[in-house]
Structure 1
Amino acid sequence: MPELSSDLTWIAMLLPFVAALAAPAVVGRMGANGAWFLALFPALAFAHFAGFLPEIADGGRVTGGYAWVPSLNLSFSWLIDGLSLTFALLITGIGALIVLYAGGYMKGHPQQGRFIAYILLFMGAMLGVVVSDSLLMLFVFWELTSITSFLLIGFDHAREASRRAALQALVVTGGGGLILLAGIFFLWNITGVSQLSLLLATGDTLRQSPFYLAALLLVLGGAFTKSAQFPFHFWLPNAMEAPTPVSAYLHSATMVKAGVYLLMRLNPVMGETPAWEILLPFFGGITLLVGAVLAVRQTDLKLMLAYTTVASLGLLVMLTGFDTPYAVEAAVLYLVAHSLFKGALFMVAGAIDHEAGTRDITRLGGLRKLMPITFAAALLAGISMAGLPPLFGFLAKEEIYAALAGTSPRAILFTSVAVIGNALMFVIAFAVGLKPFLGEEKAAPKHAHEGPILLWLGPLTLAVLSLAGALLSSVAHRYISSPMASAVDGEAQTITISLIPHIGAALALSVLTVVLGIVLYLGLDRLRAAVDHFVTALGLSPDRGFDHAISGLVRFATKVTRFVQNGRLETYIAMSFIFVAIVLLVTPVVYGELPPVPAWPNDASLHELAMLAIAVVGVVAVLTAKDRLTAIVCLGIQGFAIAVLFLIYGAPDLSFTQFMVETLSVVILALVMTRLRLSLSDHRPAGAVLMDGALAIACGIGFMLLLIGTTAGSFDTSLTQFFSEYSKIIAHGANVVNVIIVDFRGVDTMGEIAVVMVTGLSILALIRIRVAPPPIQTPQPSAIAPSPAPAKKKKAAGK
């Protein structure tokens, strides 16, 4: 596979971000017409990526980037092959049309500039996801898509429904992103590479690893939450609270396909295993049925399309995990077809809402003559979604049935799921693309008319592209479908399907789907009522489950917070020492790393033993003291004994520091105790005393073991040699300790001096505190005693 290098791709990746920075000012100055200028930025990025089509079609791929942290093999790099190029073209091409559409749809909105800026920010983030070669870079952009989608879904933040939908999407996709991060670390540790281009060359390393299943489940967690797979599908329909340009872009053509992109990208190294071929078709099939059934229940155009998007994503995941020769080709064709027809239909729904004032299908009709261009776009997109010729959706549907059809029970099961799902999506395709335009005009809130060019240019362009892709299928396959399928499969693939049907099982299943779809469409109202009754009787709602989960999490967090943050200082201190004891004791005990008990020194001198005895006496004095002040004074005995030992062993500097610390500690504690209203003695119950004593002993033993283990090891003399060799040469000082304190650790010494100064100032403040005497209580006059006569005012002089 020939490798090509590109040094300009980073500019194309930055173009959406640059446009986002300029959007508020451009729209503020030019109004809705500013959308034409802003759309040039993604259009230029589209032109840049389109320039790679010939090279990618010939089997090449484009790489480039810059080293970020070479020692950790981290880079800002990109990989462009058939898969990432197709996504990049969809993101920038549809993105440019969405910017234009937003200019017309949000015309006159006071925050239109901010809205388009968010759209462009999301575009840049999604573009980064699909072209990233670095796994870390992919994750950063992955999370950025969650953040920007949160801003877009919650754009109308004055509405509670928008805020809830935005928060829900952020929690689900953001949580999935953290799961994906763990999966990325697994991939990194298993293969030792941090770039996708290198990961794809590792062969069976991942599949043969004992940690493969753990890595797969983590990757699926990230992909399923982002691509709204069951049971995480509920956030996507709720995201329809966002303005229609958001729905048309984020939740049909781009963001929700990020998870599908990740699965397709990792298929060459994680696919073809029993776990992959069981989990993906199973969850994908359930998602297909759930989404298609719930779509029939809706009457809102956007919600109908949203649930069919859930169904389509399930179909893509199911195909990606299927183990038949045409499954990858079918997934590739359907992904492209879906992006074209779903983006167009969402924009049609928005145009109808903008011009007629409602998206309720029961209140719409007769728009064919009033909105002829929008009707043409809707009809073409609906035909493609229904899988009828001569649109690109027909090619995808034929390839789907060619991939699934078989005689095994597994093939029959998933083929039946696909037929039912496609038939229901056939119903929604014409319910959205045909029903509002036929019949007599109904009394909508507004008298509809054809919208401005900014509203119909996008859907008409996408619908025409779907028609052109089918009519010129050989060209589309050469430059788009075949290179993409090759990247997903890991081997060269050539797609040849065209509008000329092949007699066989695939065509028979296609005809069955159409017949079933027509029957269901004719009885749509009865079907909707039946599905609504069934879902209501079932009583299951992942959406309500999410609310209960969040509510339970908040209650649990409140209880935990009230337990560990109860406002009592002794609780905080106890918790701190409990964790210190756990860290110091559990690890050496569990892993068998307890240090050997040191032998008693035979050559201990009398003065050393005397200092040890004094320290022991100090501990006993603290424990037996009758009042707090005595215990505080006795507390300094151990520190003074240790300071004398430092002095005996030739460390006067350290000894002096120890004397200062102990003296200051005793003085400060004594002053604090005199200012607090405490009882003179300790009145804790016996249980609390035992608990605190056990905790103190545990921490003491832990630090003792740590010190013994540290000193038992071999002494590293490299620092000693360094200071001995360079103290006089560099710092011109013969006293090594002084040189370390003043020169090599000068900043640290300055900090210690600052601590001592602050401590001295605190002591001074405590000494100078004067307790105000209690106010003199004057006796209050009795209720029956006569009140004193008011004093007469003295006359002013001269009066």
Structure 2
Amino acid sequence: MLFTVLTGLITSSLLVPFGKLMKTKWSVLLPFIPVILFLFYLWHVPVVANGTNVIQHLAWVPSLGVNFDFRLDGLSLLFALLITGIGTAIFFYGRSYLKGHIYFDRFFAYLLLFMSAMLGVVLSNNILTLFVFWELTSISSFFLIGFNNDSKESRNSALTALSITGLGGFFLLAGLVLAGNIAGTFIISELFAQHDKLVNHSLYPLIIGLVFIGAFTKSAQFPFHFWLPGAMKAPTPVSAYLHSATMVKAGIYLLARFTPILGNTELWNTTLLIVGGFTMVFAAIHALFRTDLKSILAYSTISALGILTFLLGLGTTEAFIAASVFILVHALYKATLFMVTGIIDHETHTRDLTKLGGLRKVLMPVFIAAVLAALSSAGLPSTFGFIGKDLIYEATLHYHHNWAIWLTALAVITNIGLVAAGFMAGIKPFTGKLPQAFEQVHLPYKSMWIPPLILAVLGLVFGIFPGITGDYFNHQTAIAIAGENLEMELKMWHGFNTVFILSLATLATGTIVYFLNKPSEAKLRAIEQFNHISPQYIITKIGAGIKQMSAWYTNVFHNGYLRSYHIKIILFAELLLGYKLWLGGPVRIDYANLTPLSWYEFGIAAILLGAMYLIVTTRSRLTAVVSTSVIGYCICLMFVFYSAPDLAMTQFTIDTLTTVLFVLVLYKLPPFINFTSRGVPIRDAIVALGFGIIISLIALRVLYEPNSTAISDFYGENAYLLAKGKNVVNVILVDFRGMDTMFETVVLSIAALGVYSLIKLRLKSSEKE
């Protein structure tokens, strides 16, 4: 499984140096990457269908509990097949859709990166690696949504999506780490046994709150839904892949995966019911007012995600079965409709529903795919969508609560809206009279209209033979969500009962709404009058406030002046250390135990004071540098007096080198210091004096602290035995603290490169401005 995750990552990185080859006939190889991965997971279907989970463990950072732990069960297998199967269709489709694009290779590099990240999310059996891949999906989707980087709207949409999902990822990490620490393990399969311990913990509400924020932001639940319609600025292959079957369902996958771990409580179920129920109704109604095909599909996608959240909130066996089926139902018809929309846009250069019509006359195979997908979306008998809708109604009607009738009513209202929205996107552009402007429209490449047709036909095949998916996919998926064995048998016909009547009523009413509803710009503007109370407006305002506060903070604390940084750091250290000293009480000095000062120590102290006076008062840079070196050499003498010649030699070398470097730098600067005000030297002197006093008080207090030599004894005893070095200081730096030293060296190297780059930088006059 690790190989399948790394395949996309490695190929994505190879497209950077060899991308030009992919713009030629070699691009035909790209779709076969998801094909191979799809066949790999298809090969595991019989194993998983028999109830066997495939486990893989590879050590990565075992000391931190971070390993490559992968687990293939019913839930992860279904998602892996969707990611690679629909990915295959998107790769063939996108290869023709973006043919000749200047960034063709870059697009597929991003797409491969995203595919690998999604596989990593659904396969991870370690919550830390799951989070790593989770964040990678946000980053790669940012690149894909903002792919048309010459468009300001695309850039803004990408930033909005990254901000919302990235913020959710931050909270998700906190929730996952809390859960892992309480349970004592980061392995997801081991967390199942810790359910009671987690739900009975005092931090349980905080944990699920953090997890909910992560899942709701990724799966566009209200009030975080607004990033998804904005993301429609991305190329259609991106919308068809990310926003129908993969990325937006990552949050649903997370909730489903953690239902056996954190779920089955009133707080968990009620929250999901409220959020999912409101989202599905809100988005279904909003879809009816849209005139842009991708906007219609975006809001209907939000509604479908709300349905899945709603079903997980119900928390019953029927609801888990319905969710396992609807995940596949929605992926098939929504990916089809997105690709059909892309074909319409590609050929007519418009997605405006008020301008489209009659396209069946010139795009017949596309029309067939669109109609099949729209009918599955509507839940017509013999389609897979019909079975999905029946299962939703069974779950609400059989809910063991007085709210069952009201929950069923919400589901009916939502599905009526989705029926009408599906017909608007899948049927309306193809019916009616063909506008004269579109008479020259013709079928695109076969690789563009065959993939959506295949997905649409699958929706029909699975509807006629539901046992295929029920026995091999959905059964084990429902078991994984429920966390326990359950019985399941999908049938095309469940008899003439209440559920069937509700399905027919939904289909009939949705069809009536479709014919009565006339989307227009006027209706759209009417609902946009309420934008000032929308979550997008409120969150945008909050973001603007944070931006203003950040600008103020940056101007005050990060103004680009090194002297400003120094004085703020020193002042903060003084306050912190002074506060700590104050808590410890007054410093008591036992003068009788102090070593008497010798005449040469008095002499060194006098030289130090004189040098410091020169540094503060002089206006000559060279005099200040030389005086600073005098202080360093005085410290060298102190080391010699107190039997530390190695430190003295180190200090001497550093001071000499520093002085030489300062002189070299000053050669390019004015010879005199130009103070902006007379108070600057006085201020600096006060700050420095305060710091010196605090350090002196700390040193005096340390003298009377119990002296523990356990650490120094350890290094002295083991330096030669373990590291074969006689110089204890060198052994500590190179072996015991080798990692720290390595990073310090890296930081210094980066700083040196930066300084060298600035020295060699030659700007044009226009660039300087």
TM-score (norm 2): 0.84
Among all aligned residue pairs of Structure 1 and Structure 2, give the percentage whose two residues are the same amino acid: 36
Change (3 A) 1:650 1:529: closer
Contact 1:19 1:117 in 2 (8 A): yes
Work out which of the two has the higher radius of gyration on C-alpha atoms and give 1 or 2. Answer: 1
Instruction: Decide whether the 8 Å contact of 2:332 with 2:455 is kept in 1.
Output: yes
Cα 1:657–1:399 change in 2 (3 A) is: closer
- State which drifts further: 618-627 or 559-568: 618-627
Q: Which amino acid in structure 2 is aligned with residue 418 of structure 1?
A: A
Say whether the 8 Å CA contact 1:639–1:658 is kept in structure 2.
yes
Alpha-carbon offset, residue 135 of structure 1: 2.1
Kindly indicate whether the alpha-carbon contact (under 8 Å) linking 2:571 and 2:687 is maintained by their aligned counterparts in 1: no
- Counting only pairs closer than 5 Å after superposition, residues 354-369 of structure 1 correspond to structure 2 as 354-369=346-361
Asked if 2 retains the 8 angstrom alpha-carbon contact of 1:233 and 1:310, the reply is yes
- The residue that corresponds to 1:240 in the other structure is 232
The CA deviation string for residues 219-265 of structure 1, in whole angstroms up to 9 with x for no partner, is: 22221111111122111111111111111111111111111111111
More divergent stretch after superposition (561-570 vs 279-288)? 561-570
Tell me: CA distance 1:37–1:649, structure 2 relative to 1, closer, same or farther (3 Å).
closer
Alignment pair present for 1:510 and 2:500: no
- From 224, 227, 236, the equivalent of 2:219 is 227
What's the CA shift string for 1:296-324, capped at 9, x where partnerless? 11111111111111111111112112233
CA distance in 2, matches of 1:663, 1:423: 82
Residue 111 (structure 1) shift: 3.2
8 Å contact kept, 2:616–2:685: no
After superposition, the Cα gap between the structure-2 partners of 1:315 and 1:698, relative to the gap in structure 1 and judged at 3 Å, is farther
Deviation at 1:36, TM superposition (A): 4.5
Alpha-carbon distance, 1:104 to partner: 2.4
1:177 aligns with 2:173: no
**Pairwise CA distance, 1:399:** 1.3
Secondary structure of 1:78 counterpart: strand
Select between 450-459 and 597-606 the one with higher mean Cα deviation.
597-606
1:453 corresponds to which of 437, 442, 446: 446
Moved more, 207-216 or 417-426: 207-216
Kept in 2, the 8 Å contact 1:356–1:446? The answer is no
Indicate the residue corresponding to 1:216 in structure 2: 208
1:676 equivalent in alignment to 2:672: yes
Distance 1:237 1:444, change over 3 A: farther
Cα gap change, 1:521/1:699 in structure 2, threshold over 3 Å: closer, same or farther?
Answer: farther
Residue-by-residue CA offset, 1:588-638 (whole Å, 9 max, x unaligned): 77xx6x389555153445446995899699879979999559998999999
AA partner of residue 195 (structure 2): G
Selected match of 1:288 from 280, 302, 307: 280
Structure 2 distance, partners of 1:605, 1:273, is 69
**1:396 aligns to what?**
388
Counterpart of 1:38?
30
SS at match of 1:65: strand
Match in the other structure for 1:552 = 545
Given that 2:715 and 2:732 are in contact with CA atoms closer than 8 Å, whether structure 1 keeps it comes out as no
Query: Is 1:114 the counterpart of 2:109 in the alignment?
Result: no
1:273-422 matched pairs, under 5 angstroms: 273-405=265-397, 408=401, 410-422=403-415
Following TM superposition, by how much is the alpha carbon of 1:424 offset from its aligned partner in structure 2, in angstroms? 0.7
Aligned position for 1:775: none
Deviation (angstroms), 1:643: 7.2
Q: Is the 2:608–2:634 Cα contact (8 Å) retained in structure 1? A: no
| Preserved CA contact (<8 Å) 2:175 2:210 | yes
Cα 1:56–1:362 change in 2 (3 A) is same
Deviations 1:402-446 (A, max 9, x none): 212358564344333322221111101111221122222123456
Equivalent of 1:434, from 424, 427, 431? Answer: 427
Aligned to 2:56: 64
Q: Is the 8 A contact 1:101 1:454 kept in 2?
A: yes
AA aligned to 2:509 is L
Following superposition, the deviation at residue 266 of structure 1 comes to 0.8
> CA, structure 1 residues 35+275, in 2 after alignment: closer, same or farther (shift >3 Å)?
farther
Residue-by-residue CA offset, 1:24-76 (whole Å, 9 max, x unaligned): 89996686865553222211111111111122112110011311122222211
**Retained in 2: the 8 A contact 1:341–1:382?**
yes
Contact persistence 1:643–1:659 (CA under 8 A): yes
1:197 corresponds to which residue?
189
Q: Would you say the 8 A contact 1:629–1:670 is kept in 2?
A: no
Aligned to 1:572: 565
Distance verdict in 2 for CA 1:129–1:273, change over 3 Å:
same
Give the letter aligned to residue 92 of structure 2: L
Q: Distance in 2 between matches of 1:226 and 1:572?
A: 38
Matched position secondary structure for 2:149:
coil
Structure 1 residue 199 displacement after superposition: 2.2
CA apart distance, 1:581? 2.5
Task: Quote how far apart the aligned CAs of 1:541 are.
Answer: 3.9
Q: Structure 1's 444 and 338: CA in aligned 2 closer, same or farther, altered over 3 A? A: farther
Query: What residue number does 1:522 align with?
Result: 515
Comparing 541-550 and 124-133, the one that deviates more: 541-550
Pair 1:488-2:484 in alignment: no
Q: Within 2, Cα distance between the matches of 1:34 and 1:485?
A: 41
CA distance in 2, matches of 1:635, 1:243: 61
CA RMSD of aligned residues (A): 4.2
Q: Is the 8 A contact 2:715 2:728 kept in 1?
A: no
Asked if the contact 1:13/1:45 (under 8 Å) is kept, the reply is: no
Report if the CA contact (8 A) 2:366-2:453 is conserved: yes
2:194 match: secondary structure: coil
Cα drift, residue 92 of structure 1: 0.5
C-alpha spacing 1:634/1:280, structure 2 compared with 1 (3 Å): same
After superposing the two structures, state which structure 1 stretch, 184-193 or 652-661, moved more: 652-661
1:492 to partner: Cα distance? 1.2
Greater Cα offset, 576-585 or 204-213: 576-585
Q: Which of 85, 97, 102 is equivalent to 2:89?
A: 97
Match of residue 464 from structure 1: 457
Alignment of 1:115-194 (within 5 A): 115-194=107-186
What SS does the corresponding residue of 2:487 show, helix, strand or coil?
A: coil
Letter in 1 for 2:590: W
Distance change (3 Å), C-alpha of 1:531 and 1:660 = closer
> Does structure 2 conserve the Cα–Cα contact (< 8 Å) formed by 1:43 and 1:93?
yes
Deviation at 1:335, TM superposition (A): 1.0
- The one-letter code of the counterpart of 2:271 is L
Tell me how far apart the structure 2 counterparts of residues 358 and 662 of structure 1 sit (CA, whole Å): 70
Find the residue that maps to 1:79 and give its secondary structure. Answer: strand
Native 8 Å contact 2:290 2:524 kept in 1:
no
Aligned to 2:69: 77
How far apart are the structure 1 equivalents of 2:700 and 2:89? 68
Query: CA 1:513/1:140 → structure 2, altered by over 3 Å: closer, same or farther?
Result: same
- SS of the residue corresponding to residue 42 of structure 1 reads helix
Checking the alignment, whether the CA contact within 8 Å between 1:173 and 1:225 is kept in structure 2 is yes
TM-superposed deviation, 1:374:
1.3
1:708 CA displacement = 3.2
The equivalent of 2:757 in structure 1 is none
- Which moves more between the two structures, 478-487 or 36-45? 36-45
Within 1, Cα distance between the matches of 2:638 and 2:20? 76
Q: Report the equivalent of 1:443.
A: 436
Aligned match of 2:590: 600
Where structure 2 has 5 or more consecutive residues not aligned to the other structure, the ranges are 742-769
Give the Cα separation in 2 of the matches to 1:461 and 1:423. Answer: 26
How many Å apart are 1:719 and its aligned residue?
Answer: 3.6
May I ask how many residue pairs the two structures share in their alignment?
731
Using structure 1 for the length normalisation, give the TM-score. 0.81
Give 1:794's aligned residue: none
Q: How much has 1:534 moved relative to structure 2?
A: 3.5
SS in 2 for 1:297: coil
CA displacement, residues 696-716 of structure 1 (integer Å, 9 cap, x when unaligned): 536743673377358724422
**Deviation for aligned residue 1:136:** 2.4
Unaligned ranges ≥5, structure 1: 1-8, 752-799
